């Protein structure tokens, strides 16, 4: 059967989701998990976009084996040179070049005539081909492009050396029937060795449907993101596309390299590092995806799971229970083995940290579950250099007076202390930190959730903090929800400082 390649752009297009700002360590851990899941191509970032993105792409290129590692660049000479500098250490490097091809984009964004766009595309592909064998070319806004010009430019870049041609639905405008016709029309004009790729956005909720239609029309590669993250309404969701192909293999008649048992844990990692919660009703990976409340459904499932389940939880690696309990007598070897099974691939330093934190937690918490451990590890991997750190805090609060928070921070050798009065303990603590640092910080969002059940559950707080025109996400985990909140706020500020240092 025909084999479909999966191109994951969670680390590039997915990171363009408003409010997401992944650091290099998070990107590397996600890249490891993507490679372990069998992803064929990992788009690690846009190397020319920033120094931080360049370094993250280079680190991923150096480490990841098996999967191709791609870097995005405009059809601009400097972008292509930069992309190659970041990718040159990769086992299987891929330079991904794009330029807009729709009349709207060419006139108002590029301010170029079609013949100029064609010339720029061919020149860029030839330059990229001089660096590496794998060159992908994308016709930005392909679904609003004129088919004759689309075919002309695709044939030209294929002759120039492009090995993959991507026809993206950049703004989520198309419908399955029209997208399939466009894919088929271009496929018919290109040599069979040149792959056709589909990249669909979800603005009208048809990203997955359009992607599947493209496969039926002859696409060889699909570009998706885990949990469907991405610009605006996001991209076609990886987990939905791969499970549609797997569950309905009778219909699609294609193969793929994905280890579907990695899907559940991969989705949880992406959720942890991006701060985007997975809706309970989300297809394939939501908490309710395999739950049955109706009595009729429950009876049917007890008789035979196939009555109301078209796929099993085990097929996506979802544990039958999230409450696997570890105790304070658990050894480091068993601990490390379980983390590997759960999808984490930690350095010796991170593993030692996680095990020590696990032991501390086991002394104060009756049962420690894998979700507790996930929160601990997620916090570790989100770490950035601690320009500031929490020394201590004190809260005075009751229901009849305003709350006073006194917060003490350390910045190098300097100890800072400030008190503030506000409507509640979290608000007062944030106010004290903001006044102390004399920075124009504004809290954009605040969310809290229990990592596990019970009175002694760890509390995880996610904040998004605006500083001028940029937003920084922070997370904090603790048994004390006020401490979780303060740690999350500090984490966001440290991300801000880390980005400013990287830019210098």
User: ∠ at Cα 345 (280, 4), nearest 5°?
Assistant: 65
Is residue 308 situated within a structural domain? no
pLDDT at residue 320 above 80? no
Q: How high does pLDDT run on average in the chain? A: 89
Is residue 280 situated within a structural domain? no
Residues 265 and 362 in one domain: no
- Report the pLDDT value the prediction gives residue 301, as an integer from 0 to 100: 47
Is residue 486 situated within a structural domain? yes
- Report the pLDDT value the prediction gives residue 325, as an integer from 0 to 100: 52
Is residue 49 situated within a structural domain? yes
- Report the pLDDT value the prediction gives residue 74, as an integer from 0 to 100: 98
Mean pLDDT score, 212-241: 97
pLDDT band at 370 (very low <50, low <70, confident <90, very high): low
pLDDT at residue 294 above 70? no
pLDDT band at 293 (very low <50, low <70, confident <90, very high): very low
Higher-pLDDT residue of 370, 186: 186
The number of CA neighbours under 13 Å toward the Cβ of 65 is 0
Residues 183 and 60 in one domain: yes
Query: Per-residue pLDDT tens for 422-460?
Result: 989 999 999 999 999 999 999 998 998 877 666 667 788
Statement: the pTM of the whole predicted model exceeds 0.85: no
Residues 147 and 237 in one domain: yes
Compute the distance between CA of residue 436 and CA of residue 258 in angstroms, rounded to an integer: 50
- Report the pLDDT value the prediction gives residue 277, as an integer from 0 to 100: 87
Residues 170 and 189 in one domain: yes
Residues 40 and 165 in one domain: yes
- Report the pLDDT value the prediction gives residue 322, as an integer from 0 to 100: 45
Q: Which domain does 352 fall in, by range?
A: 325-381
Domain count, the chain: 3
Are 354 and 339 in contact by the 8 Å Cβ rule? The answer is yes
Compute the distance between CA of residue 221 and CA of residue 166 in angstroms, rounded to an integer: 9
Residues 348 and 395 in one domain: no
Compute the distance between CA of residue 97 and CA of residue 191 in angstroms, rounded to an integer: 20
Mean pLDDT score, 490-494: 92
Higher-pLDDT residue of 102, 378: 102
- Report the pLDDT value the prediction gives residue 367, as an integer from 0 to 100: 65
Beta strands in 283-413 (DSSP E): 325-326, 368-369, 389-398, 401-411
pLDDT at residue 494 above 70? yes
Compute the distance between CA of residue 218 and CA of residue 4 in angstroms, rounded to an integer: 10
Mean pLDDT score, 78-106: 98
| % of the chain exceeding 70 in pLDDT | 87
Is residue 74 situated within a structural domain? yes
Q: Among 238, 197, 245, 202, which residue's Cα sits nearest to residue 218?
A: 197
- 283: helix, coil or strand? coil
The backbone torsions φ and ψ at residue 415, rounded to the nearest 5 degrees and listed phi first, read -110, 125
Is residue 64 situated within a structural domain? yes
Find the CATH number of the domain harbouring 68.
Answer: 3.20.20.70
Residues 247 and 396 in one domain: no
Residue 323 corresponds to which tokens in the numbers above? 């409450």
Pick the range with the lowest mean pLDDT from 354-368, 421-435, 467-481.
354-368
Residue ending a domain, among 363, 381, 399, is 381
Q: Among 3, 5, 19, 141, which residue's Cα sits nearest to residue 464?
A: 19
Compute the distance between CA of residue 198 and CA of residue 342 in angstroms, rounded to an integer: 31
Residue 391 corresponds to which tokens in the numbers above? 């020394």
User: What pairing do the DSSP bridges indicate for beta strands 459-467 and 368-369?
Assistant: unpaired
- Report the pLDDT value the prediction gives residue 323, as an integer from 0 to 100: 40
Residues 42 and 172 in one domain: yes
Residues 247 and 360 in one domain: no
Are 171 and 200 in contact by the 8 Å Cβ rule? The answer is no
Is residue 318 situated within a structural domain? no
Residues 354 and 219 in one domain: no
Residues 471 and 348 in one domain: no
Residue 131 corresponds to which tokens in the numbers above? 């660096």
Find the CATH number of the domain harbouring 400.
Answer: 3.30.160.270
pLDDT at residue 245 above 70? yes
pLDDT band at 383 (very low <50, low <70, confident <90, very high): low
Is residue 188 situated within a structural domain? yes
Query: Per-residue pLDDT tens for 14-60?
Result: 999 887 888 888 999 999 999 999 999 999 999 999 998 999 999 99
Residues 164 and 131 in one domain: yes
């Amino acid at each position: 059967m025909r084999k479909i390649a999966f191109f994951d752009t969670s680390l590039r297009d997915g990171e363009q989701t408003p409010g997401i700002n992944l650091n290099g360590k998070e990107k590397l851990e996600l890249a490891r998990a993507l490679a372990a899941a069998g992803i064929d191509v990992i788009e690690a970032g846009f190397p020319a976009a920033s120094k931080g993105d360049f370094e993250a792409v280079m680190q991923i290129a150096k480490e990841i084996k098996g999967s191709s590692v791609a870097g995005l660049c405009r059809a601009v000479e400097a972008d292509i040179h930069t992309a190659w500098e970041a990718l040159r250490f990769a086992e299987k490097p891929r330079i991904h070049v794009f330029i807009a091809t729709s009349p709207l984009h060419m006139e108002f964004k590029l301010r170029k005539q079609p013949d100029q766009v064609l010339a720029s595309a061919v020149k860029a592909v030839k330059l990229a081909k001089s660096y590496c064998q794998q060159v992908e070319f994308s016709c930005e806004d392909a679904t609003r492009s004129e088919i004759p010009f689309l075919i002309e430019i695709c044939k030209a870049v294929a002759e120039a050396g492009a090995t993959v041609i991507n026809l993206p639905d950049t703004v989520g405008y198309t419908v399955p029937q029209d997208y399939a016709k466009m894919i088929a029309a271009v496929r018919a004009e290109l040599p069979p060795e040149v792959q056709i790729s589909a990249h669909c956005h979800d603005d009208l909720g048809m990203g997955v449907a359009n992607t599947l239609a493209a496969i039926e029309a002859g696409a060889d590669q699909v570009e998706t993101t885990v949990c469907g993250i991405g610009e605006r309404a996001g991209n076609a969701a990886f987990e939905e596309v791969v499970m549609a192909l797997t569950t309905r293999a009778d219909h699609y008649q294609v193969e793929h390299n994905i280890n579907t048992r990695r899907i559940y844990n991969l989705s949880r990692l992406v959720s942890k590092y991006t701060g985007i919660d997975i809706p309970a009703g989300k297809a394939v990976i939501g908490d309710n995806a395999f739950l049955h409340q109706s009595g009729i459904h429950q009876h049917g499932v007890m008789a035979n799971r196939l009555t109301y389940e078209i796929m099993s939880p085990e097929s996506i690696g979802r544990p039958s229970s999230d409450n696997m309990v570890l105790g304070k007598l658990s050894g480091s070897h068993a601990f490390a083995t379980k983390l590997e099974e759960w999808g984490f691939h930690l350095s010796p330093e991170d593993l030692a940290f996680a095990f020590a934190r696990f032991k501390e937690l086991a002394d104060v918490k009756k049962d420690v579950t894998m979700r507790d451990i996930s929160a601990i590890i997620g916090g570790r991997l989100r770490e950035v250099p601690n320009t500031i750190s929490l020394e201590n805090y004190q809260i005075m609060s009751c229901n009849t007076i305003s709350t006073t928070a006194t917060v003490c921070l350390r910045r190098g050798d300097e100890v800072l202390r400030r008190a503030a009065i506000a409507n509640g303990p979290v608000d007062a603590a944030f106010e004290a930190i903001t006044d102390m640092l004399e920075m124009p910080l504004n809290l954009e969002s605040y969310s809290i959730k229990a990592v596990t059940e019970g009175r002694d559950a760890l509390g995880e707080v996610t904040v998004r903090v605006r500083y001028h025109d940029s937003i920084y996400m922070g997370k904090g985990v603790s048994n004390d929800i006020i401490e979780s909140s303060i740690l999350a706020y500090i984490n966001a500020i440290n991300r801000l400082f880390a980005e400013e240092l990287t830019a210098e």
